[in-house]
A = this chain, B = another copy of it.
Amino acid sequence: LLDIDIHGPSIPKLLHIEDKLITAHGENMLPVLVGDNLKVISMGLMSRDHDAAIIWRGPMKFQVIKQFLKNVEWGELDYLVIDSPPGTGDEPLSIAQLLEHPDGAIIVTTPQDVAIADVRKSISFCRSLQLPVLGVIENMSGFICPKCSEVIDIFKSGGGEQMAKEMGVPFLGRVPIDPQIVQACDTGRPFVYHNSNSPAAKAFKEAIKVLSNLNVKENL
């Protein structure tokens, strides 16, 4: 898992490894291990001063992202999952240019028009860079009130699916708002593992299923 959000790296907190550090190995870096199967690289693992701001312009970000790809002893990987900040700026641009044969991009949106407008640009961005769009996932899609069980579409609902259709890209599903996700993220406990029967966890697993099928098709 490679976190290329240079200014706001959240992955270490989400995995409860914020006090770990990337170690040096000769000229190279060793990723932080989480359990037996996950290797992680993030700016948030370069220093323990979590309040310090990384005040870097684009060229510096390009260099560090390049190092995160080329100077890390990743070893043999099944997948390299890259978490990018939103938008069409230096981080996604750098990674799209540095990767040699990326399988593609997964685009995350929320349902309201203001967010959809930005995400349409992200899809155009992928197309300009010949990066396949594997699909769109609609996050924060509806909220089930834990007191009265009514469904409230706080940020609307369905906008991501409609946009995916209009732009001709696969739709991977809707993840509802669940305060347990916020809790899980803040405490670094994997939500899907600990809340596996919740509607949100099912939506995550369904998205993975759709993605696996897409990959199989594309690789054959």
Residues of A within 8 A of B (CB): 6-8, 10, 13-14, 50-59, 61-62, 85-90, 93, 112-114, 117-118, 120-125, 128-129, 143, 145-148, 150, 152-156, 177, 179, 182, 185-186
Contact = CB atoms under 8 A, between A and B. Distances in A.
A116 B152 CA distance: 26
A10 B117 contact: yes
A197 to B, nearest CB: 20
User: How many copies altogether?
Assistant: 2
A124 B120 CA distance: 33
Contacts of A117: 8, 10, 13, 50
Contacts of A146: 152
Contacts of A120: 50-51
A55 B85 contact: no
Contacts of A90: 57-58, 89-90
B155 A87 contact: no
B152 A7 contact: no
Contacts of A56: 89
A153 B113 CA distance: 24
A61 B58 CA distance: 10
A173 to B, nearest CB: 20
Nearest to A147: B150
15 contacts: A7-B121, A8-B118, A53-B121, A54-B88, A55-B93, A55-B125, A57-B90, A61-B89, A90-B90, A112-B182, A113-B186, A143-B154, A147-B152, A148-B148, A155-B182
